[in-house]
Each structure stands twice: as structure tokens, then as C-alpha cells.
Amino acid sequence: MDMDKKTQEDIIKCSRCGLCADVCPVYKAKRTENTLLRGKFLQLLGLIRGDLKWSNAIKSSIAYCLGCEKCKTQCPSGVSVLEIFEKIKHENLTWFEKILYGKFIFKIKIFILKVFYGAKHPVKSILRGKKSHVQKMSKSVIHFNGCLSKCINPGFRLPFEFFEGDFECCGIPYKSKGNLDEYRAVALRNAQKIEKTDALIVFNCATCLSTVRLHEFNNPKTKDRLVFYTDLYKEFLKNNKLTSKRPLTVTFHYPCHLKSAGISLSDVEDILKSIENVAYKKLENPDECCGFGGDFFLCHPKTASFLSIQKIDDVIKTGADIVLTACPTCLWSLKYGLKARHIKNIKAYDMAEFLYSLDFHAS
């Protein structure tokens, strides 16, 4: 099997210490050696040495990963697992997979999701009407509306004036499947659009922000203009207050991609703690992956369901009325987990929707 030198060196970097076992959600769910990175890298070492041949078993082993990057922070050897897996998937894509993980089929999947998810889960928004006092920002703001957000969480609004952008998918569906040619093409077109304006680009999906930020990390013209809506709320709350009409207890599931996008949990917590009439309760493991990770829940429903229900058990322990999050697949997972556990007295909402539903006034 062809494998570039850098990928080989990255694989060899793994000392097989097994420290990632403490944090890897899929290993915690399965507890088998080939679900642990040590086992996966041993198989890849076998490929490098020529002892093993590329097979469906190795392919499934590296596909059994949520892309949560918990292992990255734990690994003493600095192994960047996503980069390695994406390159190996890319080098082994068959012509059929190139079509399956290409733009045309992705658009069909999104269309089907929109129709079926929309029919099964009509948007039960907590928003009532449009705020009459939408504020103007000193800088113009353009919204990057992700593909899944449009399907699962279409009601994104802010108490500030913003415009809808004309962006493509952030590219993660292609990147995570190893279709790096399509990913690079899409990412480049988005980057060119971002470069053409001097507006702030606001994201409401942690995964989109993380993916676009990764691509634009070294571009001085754009990297500081890619913001999450919580960054805008932080400014807004310097002169304004948010108030809930009724007393509420809320908790927050911290998406893996919000962390990799560089938005800290304390940034989110500061906003939630500042709301009048709202008590914030921290989850026991706020950053434990909810298990849905892209289409992982379709490929590995048992593991995804196990992790989603585990997350809901943590939510129940907080005594919260509402569990919030900031990524459409996480929101989907939370809703799934609540339904699976037959919990009716706790609601799951996107945090942007929740914040916009509150009253706001000058402080």
C-alpha cells in the first residue's frame, strides 16, 4: 500500500503507551484492542512493514473513530490521529467511494435528511416572533449557515443585525471520509468568498467553525474574522442583560468541535451564568463526546446510542430543565437520548435559539 513518508513517521510516533484509553469514547464503549489507537496503529505498522495487506478489517478499524480528538490532548507523543486516518482513507478511496463521498451524493443525503428529519421532527421552536429591538453592529456580520444546521436547527437568530452568507458546506463530510480533493476545493472556494469581504463571519455550528478555522488558521486576512455567536454575545452583554421570564435550570453539553474551534467552556458558562432567573449546572463530564460525530451514528448505531444515553444520564443528574448545546449533530444526539430514555420533562435546545428566546434589556 502507498503511504507517504510523513504519514509513516506519524504512525511510528505512537509509543503504544495506551494512555489514550482513558479518554477515547469508542474504546470506553467497546474495550477491545482494535478499537484503541494502539491496536489501530499496530495494524498500520503492519502495512508499513509489509506484514499486512490493506483489508476491510483495517478499513473498519480506522473508521471506528468519532473524530473527537480527545486522544490528541492526552497523547505524550503528539500523535494527530485525524490527519493520519484522513490521509490513509484518501489513499485507499475506491472509485465507488469517491462518488459515494462526493458532492453529488452529499447533496442528495442532505435533501433526504431535510425532508425526513423535517417531517419526523417539526421544529418546535421556543422562539416567539422576531425581536423588535435588533441591534446594529459596528462591523457588518455575515452568517455561515452549515448544511446540517439548515436541516436540524434552521431557526438561527441573533439580537444583532446580520446577513446570510452564500457559502458552501464547510467541507467536513468530505474531509472525514478521506475525499480530500473535494474538501480542498470546497474549502478554497469558501476561503475566497471570506477574503473578498471585511465582515465578521459568524458561525452557529461548532463543527463548521472548527473546520473553516483549521483551513484559515494561517491566513492573516481572515483568521480573526471567523467568530462564534458567543463572541458577539460577550460584547453584547457588556451593556445588556438577558432575563428569563420564568426560573430555569440549564446545563450545557460542550461539543468536541467547539473545543477544537478554540471556544472555551468558560466562555459559554460566563454567558449562561449572567442570565437573570437562570441557574447554570455544570455536567459531570461536559466535554465527553455525545457519540453522534458526523455520520458515525449511522455506521455504528449501538455505540452512538450507548454514548448518547450516557450523556443523558449525566444531564438528569444535574436536575436541569433544559440541556443546551452548540452543534446540530450534538443536538440531534441529545434529542435522541432524551427520547430513548423516555424523558419528557427535560428539553434539548440549541443555545443560540435559547439565548434569543430570552428578554434582553440595557444594563
For position 20 contacting ligand SF4 by CB under 6 A, the verdict is yes
3-state secondary structure (DSSP) of residue 28 = helix
For position 70 contacting ligand SF4 by CB under 6 A, the verdict is yes
Distance CA 329, CA 149 (A): 9
| Number of Cβ within a 10 Å radius of residue 124 | 7
For position 68 contacting ligand SF4 by CB under 6 A, the verdict is yes
Distance CA 14, CA 21 (A): 13
For position 187 contacting ligand SF4 by CB under 6 A, the verdict is no
Distance CA 323, CA 138 (A): 32
What torsion do the CA atoms of 125, 131, 135, 137 make, to the nearest 10 degrees?
Answer: 30
Q: How far is the CB of 265 from ligand SF4 (least distance, A)?
A: 18
Among 60, 73, 77, 264, binds ligand SF4 (CB under 6 A): 77
Q: How far is the CB of 19 from ligand SF4 (least distance, A)?
A: 4
Q: Enumerate the β-bridge partners of residue 169.
A: none
DSSP code string of 51-109: SS---HHHHHHHHS-----HHHHH-TT---HHHHHHHHHHHT--HHHHHHTSHHHHHHH
The secondary structure element, H or E, covering residue 339 is helix 328-340
Which residues in 117-176 contact ligand SF4 (CB under 6 A)? Answer: none
Among 1, 4, 6, 16, binds ligand SF4 (CB under 6 A): 16
Among 66, 206, 330, 348, binds ligand SF4 (CB under 6 A): 66
Q: How far is the CB of 293 from ligand SF4 (least distance, A)?
A: 8
- Block residue for cell numbers 421552536: 125
Among 62, 75, 84, 290, binds ligand SF4 (CB under 6 A): 75
Distance CA 134, CA 162 (A): 10
For position 19 contacting ligand SF4 by CB under 6 A, the verdict is yes
Among 4, 6, 18, 46, binds ligand SF4 (CB under 6 A): 18
For position 10 contacting ligand SF4 by CB under 6 A, the verdict is no
For position 32 contacting ligand SF4 by CB under 6 A, the verdict is no
For position 62 contacting ligand SF4 by CB under 6 A, the verdict is no
Stretch that binds ligand SF4, among 12-20, 195-203, 303-311, 341-349 (CB under 6 A): 12-20
β pairing state of 226-228 and 359-362: unpaired
Stretch that binds ligand SF4, among 71-79, 92-100, 195-203, 272-280 (CB under 6 A): 71-79
| Number of Cβ within a 10 Å radius of residue 148 | 24
Among 14, 93, 170, 275, binds ligand SF4 (CB under 6 A): 14
Q: Which C-beta is closer to ligand SF4: that of 89 or that of 225?
A: 89
Torsional sign, CA 98, 258, 324, 64: positive
Among 7, 10, 11, 26, binds ligand SF4 (CB under 6 A): 26
Q: Which C-beta is closer to ligand SF4: that of 82 or that of 185?
A: 82
For position 301 contacting ligand SF4 by CB under 6 A, the verdict is no
DSSP code string of 116-162: HHHHHS-------S--S-PBPPSS-EEEE--HHHHHH------SB--
Using CB under 6 A as the binding criterion, the count of chain residues that bind ligand SF4 stands at: 25
Q: What residues make contact with ligand SF4 under the rule CB under 6 A?
A: 14-20, 23-26, 37-38, 65-71, 74-75, 77, 79, 81
